[in-house]
Amino acid sequence: MGTSDIVGELIVLQGIDLEILKVNEELECLKQELSTLALEVEELTAKEVQLRDQTGEAEQRVQRFQRSVNAGRETLKRLEMRVTAVANMQQHFAVKSETDTARRNLRAAEDEQLSAMQDAETARLGLMEVVGDLAQAKEVLASRGTEVGNQRSELEGQLEAHITSREEQEGQIEMNTLRLYRSVSAKRSDSALAAIVEGPVDGVCGRCYTTVPKQRRADIRSGRSLALCEGCGVILHAEMTDA
Protein backbone atom coordinates (compact mmCIF):
# COMPACT_ATOMS: atom_id res chain seq x y z
CA MET A 1 0.00 0.00 0.00
CA GLY A 2 1.44 3.42 -0.97
CA THR A 3 1.54 6.31 1.45
CA SER A 4 -1.18 8.19 -0.33
CA ASP A 5 -3.40 5.10 -0.07
CA ILE A 6 -2.56 4.82 3.63
CA VAL A 7 -3.31 8.50 4.09
CA GLY A 8 -6.54 8.05 2.16
CA GLU A 9 -7.58 5.21 4.46
CA LEU A 10 -6.64 7.27 7.52
CA ILE A 11 -8.70 10.18 6.26
CA VAL A 12 -11.69 7.87 5.86
CA LEU A 13 -11.08 6.53 9.38
CA GLN A 14 -10.82 10.06 10.73
CA GLY A 15 -14.15 10.90 9.09
CA ILE A 16 -15.76 7.96 10.87
CA ASP A 17 -14.10 8.97 14.15
CA LEU A 18 -15.56 12.46 13.78
CA GLU A 19 -19.03 11.04 13.13
CA ILE A 20 -18.75 8.90 16.25
CA LEU A 21 -17.61 11.92 18.25
CA LYS A 22 -20.52 13.98 16.91
CA VAL A 23 -23.11 11.32 17.72
CA ASN A 24 -21.66 10.87 21.20
CA GLU A 25 -21.82 14.62 21.75
CA GLU A 26 -25.45 14.70 20.63
CA LEU A 27 -26.24 11.83 22.98
CA GLU A 28 -24.53 13.68 25.81
CA CYS A 29 -26.55 16.83 25.00
CA LEU A 30 -29.79 14.88 25.19
CA LYS A 31 -28.74 13.37 28.49
CA GLN A 32 -27.91 16.82 29.83
CA GLU A 33 -31.22 18.21 28.64
CA LEU A 34 -33.18 15.46 30.38
CA SER A 35 -31.25 15.80 33.60
CA THR A 36 -31.80 19.58 33.57
CA LEU A 37 -35.54 19.04 33.15
CA ALA A 38 -35.60 16.36 35.84
CA LEU A 39 -33.67 18.63 38.19
CA GLU A 40 -36.20 21.39 37.66
CA VAL A 41 -39.05 19.04 38.59
CA GLU A 42 -37.09 17.95 41.64
CA GLU A 43 -36.45 21.53 42.76
CA LEU A 44 -40.05 22.59 42.24
CA THR A 45 -41.26 19.54 44.17
CA ALA A 46 -39.02 20.49 47.10
CA LYS A 47 -40.27 24.09 46.88
CA GLU A 48 -43.86 22.87 46.90
CA VAL A 49 -43.27 20.87 50.08
CA GLN A 50 -41.60 23.87 51.68
CA LEU A 51 -44.44 26.25 50.77
CA ARG A 52 -47.06 23.77 51.98
CA ASP A 53 -45.24 23.66 55.31
CA GLN A 54 -45.08 27.44 55.42
CA THR A 55 -48.77 27.76 54.60
CA GLY A 56 -49.73 25.23 57.28
CA GLU A 57 -47.52 26.88 59.85
CA ALA A 58 -48.92 30.36 59.10
CA GLU A 59 -52.48 29.03 59.25
CA GLN A 60 -51.77 27.52 62.66
CA ARG A 61 -50.49 30.89 63.81
CA VAL A 62 -53.68 32.52 62.55
CA GLN A 63 -55.70 30.02 64.64
CA ARG A 64 -53.54 30.58 67.69
CA PHE A 65 -53.91 34.37 67.49
CA GLN A 66 -57.63 33.91 66.89
CA ARG A 67 -57.81 32.27 70.32
CA SER A 68 -55.87 35.19 71.84
CA VAL A 69 -58.18 37.67 70.12
CA ASN A 70 -61.26 35.82 71.41
CA ALA A 71 -59.85 35.69 74.92
CA GLY A 72 -59.02 39.42 74.76
CA ARG A 73 -62.56 40.28 73.69
CA GLU A 74 -63.99 38.18 76.52
CA THR A 75 -61.77 40.01 79.00
CA LEU A 76 -62.91 43.38 77.68
CA LYS A 77 -66.55 42.34 77.92
CA ARG A 78 -66.05 41.27 81.52
CA LEU A 79 -64.35 44.58 82.33
CA GLU A 80 -67.20 46.55 80.76
CA MET A 81 -69.60 44.75 83.08
CA ARG A 82 -67.42 45.55 86.05
CA VAL A 83 -67.37 49.25 85.11
CA THR A 84 -71.09 49.44 85.71
CA ALA A 85 -70.66 47.93 89.15
CA VAL A 86 -67.81 50.08 90.56
CA ALA A 87 -68.49 51.46 94.02
CA ASN A 88 -65.82 54.16 94.22
CA MET A 89 -63.13 56.09 92.35
CA GLN A 90 -60.42 53.67 93.40
CA GLN A 91 -62.26 50.71 91.86
CA HIS A 92 -63.05 52.84 88.83
CA PHE A 93 -59.35 53.56 88.21
CA ALA A 94 -58.41 49.94 88.81
CA VAL A 95 -60.94 48.75 86.20
CA LYS A 96 -59.86 51.49 83.80
CA SER A 97 -56.22 50.48 84.08
CA GLU A 98 -57.10 46.80 83.52
CA THR A 99 -59.22 47.80 80.53
CA ASP A 100 -56.35 49.76 78.98
CA THR A 101 -54.04 46.80 79.36
CA ALA A 102 -56.66 44.42 77.94
CA ARG A 103 -57.21 46.74 74.94
CA ARG A 104 -53.47 46.91 74.28
CA ASN A 105 -53.20 43.11 74.49
CA LEU A 106 -56.15 42.66 72.16
CA ARG A 107 -54.70 45.09 69.62
CA ALA A 108 -51.35 43.31 69.75
CA ALA A 109 -53.07 39.93 69.20
CA GLU A 110 -55.06 41.37 66.31
CA ASP A 111 -51.87 42.76 64.72
CA GLU A 112 -50.12 39.43 65.12
CA GLN A 113 -53.08 37.63 63.62
CA LEU A 114 -53.17 40.01 60.67
CA SER A 115 -49.49 39.51 60.02
CA ALA A 116 -49.94 35.72 60.22
CA MET A 117 -52.85 36.01 57.75
CA GLN A 118 -50.63 37.93 55.38
CA ASP A 119 -47.90 35.29 55.72
CA ALA A 120 -50.44 32.56 55.03
CA GLU A 121 -51.72 34.43 52.00
CA THR A 122 -48.23 35.00 50.63
CA ALA A 123 -47.34 31.35 51.13
CA ARG A 124 -50.63 30.24 49.51
CA LEU A 125 -50.03 32.45 46.45
CA GLY A 126 -46.44 31.18 46.17
CA LEU A 127 -47.71 27.64 46.49
CA MET A 128 -50.28 28.13 43.73
CA GLU A 129 -47.59 29.44 41.44
CA VAL A 130 -45.22 26.59 42.24
CA VAL A 131 -47.97 24.01 41.76
CA GLY A 132 -48.61 25.49 38.30
CA ASP A 133 -44.91 25.60 37.42
CA LEU A 134 -44.45 22.07 38.67
CA ALA A 135 -47.32 20.71 36.57
CA GLN A 136 -45.84 22.45 33.53
CA ALA A 137 -42.31 21.19 34.24
CA LYS A 138 -43.62 17.64 34.64
CA GLU A 139 -45.46 17.93 31.35
CA VAL A 140 -42.36 19.21 29.56
CA LEU A 141 -40.28 16.42 31.08
CA ALA A 142 -42.80 13.79 30.00
CA SER A 143 -43.16 15.03 26.44
CA ARG A 144 -39.47 15.83 25.93
CA GLY A 145 -38.65 12.53 27.61
CA THR A 146 -40.53 10.67 24.89
CA GLU A 147 -38.95 12.70 22.10
CA VAL A 148 -35.50 12.37 23.59
CA GLY A 149 -36.03 8.63 23.98
CA ASN A 150 -36.78 8.37 20.26
CA GLN A 151 -33.85 10.57 19.26
CA ARG A 152 -31.62 8.60 21.53
CA SER A 153 -32.47 5.22 20.04
CA GLU A 154 -32.00 6.67 16.56
CA LEU A 155 -28.57 8.05 17.53
CA GLU A 156 -27.62 4.79 19.18
CA GLY A 157 -28.47 3.00 15.94
CA GLN A 158 -26.24 5.44 14.05
CA LEU A 159 -23.49 4.97 16.59
CA GLU A 160 -23.61 1.22 16.20
CA ALA A 161 -23.36 1.53 12.42
CA HIS A 162 -20.42 3.94 12.71
CA ILE A 163 -18.64 1.63 15.13
CA THR A 164 -19.07 -1.26 12.69
CA SER A 165 -17.66 0.78 9.82
CA ARG A 166 -14.83 1.95 12.05
CA GLU A 167 -13.91 -1.67 12.75
CA GLU A 168 -14.04 -2.43 9.06
CA GLN A 169 -11.94 0.60 8.22
CA GLU A 170 -9.39 -0.24 10.91
CA GLY A 171 -9.12 -3.68 9.33
CA GLN A 172 -7.87 -1.95 6.16
CA ILE A 173 -4.99 -0.29 7.94
CA GLU A 174 -1.72 -1.78 9.05
CA MET A 175 -1.33 -2.11 12.82
CA ASN A 176 1.66 0.22 13.24
CA THR A 177 0.05 2.90 11.10
CA LEU A 178 -3.15 2.55 13.08
CA ARG A 179 -1.26 2.86 16.37
CA LEU A 180 0.50 5.97 15.10
CA TYR A 181 -2.78 7.51 14.00
CA ARG A 182 -4.46 6.62 17.32
CA SER A 183 -1.64 8.06 19.40
CA VAL A 184 -1.59 11.28 17.37
CA SER A 185 -5.36 11.75 17.35
CA ALA A 186 -5.67 10.98 21.06
CA LYS A 187 -3.56 14.06 21.78
CA ARG A 188 -5.57 16.46 19.64
CA SER A 189 -9.12 17.60 19.19
CA ASP A 190 -8.63 18.63 15.55
CA SER A 191 -7.38 16.59 12.59
CA ALA A 192 -4.52 14.15 13.12
CA LEU A 193 -3.43 14.67 9.52
CA ALA A 194 -2.11 17.67 7.61
CA ALA A 195 -0.92 18.11 4.08
CA ILE A 196 2.46 19.65 3.35
CA VAL A 197 1.94 22.96 1.60
CA GLU A 198 4.30 25.15 -0.34
CA GLY A 199 5.98 27.67 1.93
CA PRO A 200 7.88 30.77 0.76
CA VAL A 201 11.12 28.80 0.49
CA ASP A 202 10.33 25.20 1.33
CA GLY A 203 7.41 22.91 2.11
CA VAL A 204 5.71 23.57 5.45
CA CYS A 205 3.21 21.75 7.66
CA GLY A 206 -0.30 22.76 6.59
CA ARG A 207 -1.30 23.05 10.23
CA CYS A 208 1.47 24.91 12.03
CA TYR A 209 3.69 26.06 9.14
CA THR A 210 6.82 24.46 10.53
CA THR A 211 9.30 23.81 7.74
CA VAL A 212 9.52 20.19 6.66
CA PRO A 213 13.15 19.33 5.83
CA LYS A 214 13.79 18.56 2.18
CA GLN A 215 14.79 14.94 2.69
CA ARG A 216 11.77 14.22 4.83
CA ARG A 217 9.53 15.88 2.34
CA ALA A 218 10.96 13.76 -0.42
CA ASP A 219 10.39 10.61 1.65
CA ILE A 220 6.81 11.57 2.31
CA ARG A 221 6.22 12.40 -1.33
CA SER A 222 7.77 9.20 -2.52
CA GLY A 223 5.48 7.27 -0.21
CA ARG A 224 8.32 5.59 1.66
CA SER A 225 7.16 6.58 5.12
CA LEU A 226 4.64 8.39 7.23
CA ALA A 227 6.15 11.28 9.15
CA LEU A 228 5.07 13.47 12.02
CA CYS A 229 5.43 17.24 11.94
CA GLU A 230 8.22 18.36 14.26
CA GLY A 231 6.22 21.42 15.22
CA CYS A 232 2.71 20.19 16.00
CA GLY A 233 2.98 16.42 15.79
CA VAL A 234 0.35 15.77 13.09
CA ILE A 235 0.85 13.05 10.49
CA LEU A 236 2.11 14.83 7.40
CA HIS A 237 1.11 13.81 3.94
CA ALA A 238 1.74 15.09 0.46
CA GLU A 239 -0.94 17.18 -1.13
CA MET A 240 -3.44 14.76 -2.58
CA THR A 241 -4.51 16.10 -5.93
CA ASP A 242 -7.15 13.44 -6.49
CA ALA A 243 -8.77 13.75 -3.04
Question: According to the binding rule CB under 5 A, does residue 41 interact with Zn ion?
Answer: no
- Residue of 3, 229, 235, 237 interacting with Zn ion (CB under 5 A): 229
Please choose, out of 5-13, 60-68, 169-177, 206-214, the segment that lies near Zn ion by the rule CB under 5 A.
206-214
> What is residue 235's three-state secondary structure?
strand
In the complex, the smallest distance separating the C-beta of residue 156 from Zn ion, rounded to whole angstroms, is: 36
Please choose, out of 81-89, 123-131, 182-190, 208-216, the segment that lies near Zn ion by the rule CB under 5 A.
208-216
**Of 13 and 196, which has the nearer Cβ to Zn ion?**
196
Question: According to the binding rule CB under 5 A, does residue 192 interact with Zn ion?
Answer: no
Q: How far apart are CA 16 and CA 55, in angstroms?
A: 58
Q: Which long-range contacts (CB under 8 A, 24 or more apart) does 154-162 make?
A: 155/23, 155/26, 155/27, 155/30, 156/27, 158/19, 158/23, 159/20, 159/23, 159/24, 159/27, 162/16, 162/19, 162/20, 162/23
Q: By CB neighbour count within 10 A (0-12 exposed, 13-18 middle, 19+ buried), where does 36 fall?
A: exposed
In the complex, the smallest distance separating the C-beta of residue 203 from Zn ion, rounded to whole angstroms, is: 11
Question: According to the binding rule CB under 5 A, does residue 231 interact with Zn ion?
Answer: yes
Q: How far apart are CA 234 and CA 212, in angstroms?
A: 12
- Residue of 125, 208, 218, 240 interacting with Zn ion (CB under 5 A): 208
Question: According to the binding rule CB under 5 A, does residue 6 interact with Zn ion?
Answer: no
**Of 108 and 195, which has the nearer Cβ to Zn ion?**
195
User: Which residues lie near Zn ion (CB under 5 A)?
Assistant: 205, 207-208, 210, 229, 231-232
